[in-house]
Amino acid sequence: MSKNDPAADYDGPPDYRVIGRHALFPQTNHDEIERINFLAQMNRHLAANVVPGVKQSYERRVAPAFEASEGRPIANRHEARKALLQDPAFRTWSALRRLTMEQRQQAGRWTALRQAEQLAEKARELTEGDDRLKLDSSLQQPRYVSAVDHHCMPGSYHTEYFPGDVTNGANYDHAGFVTTSGLLGKYSDGGGHAVARWVKRNLPDFQPKQILEIGGTVGHSSLPLAQAFPEAEMTIVDLGAPVLRYGLGRAKSLGVDNVRFVQASGEDLSIFPDASFDWIQTTMFLHELSTSSMRAIMAETRRLLRPGGIVLHVEQPQYAPEMPLFEQAMRDWDAYYNNEPFWSRMHEMDLDAEMIAAGFERDQLIHGGVTAVVDRDLFPDAADDDKEDYGRKAAWHVIGATV
Amino acid sequence: MSVTDALRGAGAKPAGKRPYFLDAEVERVLAITMSIAQELAVSRQRTDTLERLLLEKGVLSQGEIDSFVPDRAAAAERALWNQEYIARILRIVQQENEAVDRPDDIASEDVAAEVGAQS
Ligand SMILES: C[S@@+](CC[C@H](N)C(=O)[O-])C[C@H]1O[C@@H](n2cnc3c(N)ncnc32)[C@H](O)[C@@H]1O
């Protein structure tokens, strides 16, 4: 620690003004930026300074009290969470974490909504008549999307407030910084760059022609793949029209042209013939599904994959017996209190077994791990970050298969 | 979109019943307090931006704000502002204390019955 030099000792999210902008990025005034800075610092404070207190309370109060009353230790993460719910430290942290998410949504939505018509007009200019945007207004949103708005994002990814609207894409894109604290980098694409790097390192001879990302939202995780393989054509499928419209505008404005955005459900991609893709990617996607849709999607990926192709799913780590119950309970927080209802179940599933049930061979399965790749001069690097923000850290597992 | 619609939309509730971790009253006040804390941070940063711009343009010099000593009149005005500010914020405490002295206070609802009586 350099003595008495707060700037040299600084550890935390960068100022929001380092964020990368593009033609569809909403305008942000001084106070809107500072709101985002404040909220990113709130999340950092909760992770760095409040969570350790919750952990200590668990060890010193919650677990011993459970054992004293039940005559046995806490046996699983659900018992751990329910016991934590009785504890003031967990409750205070939870109340603060929840309201910070609500403040984040309000802040981001205000910025996007107050310029909604201008953004829609820019999106129209960028995408009108471009056949790389294929929307399907007859697509029904599944129950697992409509029942609760994921991560408390009002209107989720799909709601349009007027024809041509991109509000929910703009909100998701520009204010996600609050939750990721800059760990995803300048264009929130550190996850995509990590995957591209992983593939280049692990499969040096792989030269995909057709790449598909299911649940690509505005393209954060997809564009880096298109950039890493400029000869390939990248297809991004999602359920939400506002995010896809925004996504194509964003991609074009960032100069990434080998992409197309298609509104469809990954459960039924019959618009594409069998063996259409060399690489099928999903990123931070499986946890926002349901058991049946996940199975249907895995089966579709098997059908759509060409011989020699790969499917990769990038997700937060699964609950394994070695993972302490406290950590599992904390990771489950998003499932119960941040509207991520499939999170808990998905993270306990045997994904290898699911892949095999979908038609992949056990000895063809792929396992790995990645951390976000960012511009280290400006952004914090998840690989160096020893804080644990339970489920939100930019470090993921890779599960996949080749055929 | 009108400002009114944008404001209402910005604060819209997400689908899904809200969990409460504390007594609902306490959690409500905490949520309001943290929004105010956020807005205070925003104002503080705006002042800081202003100071830095004034410094850059040579209107202020380094350390001028920290070494600022108000003259007598300014000091009194500033002190009064603080007193007024605190009094406004702690109005409810003042009123609850005044109530101790008014053991015979009666609720308007009860007076309504009394003054509305037919005979
Ligand atoms: C958490 S986001 C994915 C984030 C994105 N991959 C990234 O890394 O930036 C989940 C996305 O999946 C989409 N989605 C959910 N179910 C889907 C389905 N059945 N088919 C296609 N997209 C789906 C949602 O609309 C949403 O945009």
Answer yes or no: do A39 and B34 touch at CB < 8 A.
Answer: no
For the cut 90, the answer to whether the pLDDT of residue B90 exceeds it is no
| pLDDT of amino acid B87 | 86
CA distance A274 to A193: 28
Residue A4 lies in a domain: no
| pLDDT of amino acid A6 | 77
CA-based nearest distance A221→chain B, Å: 25
Answer yes or no: do B38 and A39 touch at CB < 8 A.
Answer: yes
Say if residues A281 and A212 touch (Cβ distance below 8 Å): yes
| pLDDT of amino acid A265 | 98
Backbone angles phi, psi at A211, to 5 degrees: -120, 140
- Nearest-atom number in ligand 1 for the CA of A191 is 8
Query: Mutate which of A146, A173, A179, A217 to test ligand 1's pocket (most atoms within 8 Å of Cβ)?
Result: A217
CATH of the domain at A312: 3.40.50.150
| pLDDT of amino acid A2 | 61
> HSE-up of A89 (CA within 13 Å, CB side)?
18
| pLDDT of amino acid A366 | 96
- Domain-wise residue ranges, chain B: 17-68, 69-104
Q: Is the CB of A217 under 6 A from ligand 1?
A: yes
CA distance A22 to A232: 23
Residue A286 lies in a domain: yes
Look at the pTM and tell me if it is higher than 0.90. Answer: yes
Residue A300 lies in a domain: yes
Residue A1 lies in a domain: no
Q: Percent of chain B scored above 70 by pLDDT?
A: 99
| Residue of the CA atom closest to atom 9 of ligand 1 | A220
At B12, is the secondary structure helix, strand, or coil?
Answer: coil
| pLDDT of amino acid B30 | 97
User: Which H or E run contains A400?
Assistant: strand A395-402
pLDDT tens per residue, range B12-43: 999 999 999 999 999 999 999 999 999 999 99
| pLDDT of amino acid B85 | 87
Encoded tokens for A231: 């000869």
Q: Best interface-test mutation with A: which of B1, B47, B53 has the largest number of A CBs within 10 A?
A: B1
Domain containing A101: what range? 12-403
Residue A137 lies in a domain: yes
Count of domains for chain A: 1
| pLDDT of amino acid A395 | 86
pLDDT tens per residue, range B102-118: 989 999 988 998 898 88
Per-residue pLDDT of chain A (403 residues; tens, 9 = 90+): 567 787 888 888 999 999 999 999 999 999 999 999 999 999 999 999 999 999 999 999 999 999 999 999 999 999 999 999 999 999 999 999 999 999 999 999 999 999 999 999 999 999 999 999 999 999 999 999 999 999 999 999 999 999 999 999 999 999 999 998 888 999 999 999 999 999 999 999 999 999 999 999 999 999 999 999 999 999 999 999 999 999 999 999 999 999 999 999 999 999 999 999 999 999 999 999 999 999 999 999 999 999 999 999 999 999 999 999 999 999 999 999 999 999 999 999 999 999 999 999 999 999 999 988 888 877 877 776 667 778 778 889 999 999 9
| Residue of the CA atom closest to atom 24 of ligand 1 | A215
Query: Mutate which of A141, A159, A214, A239 to test ligand 1's pocket (most atoms within 8 Å of Cβ)?
Result: A239
CA distance A130 to A197: 30
Residue A283 lies in a domain: yes
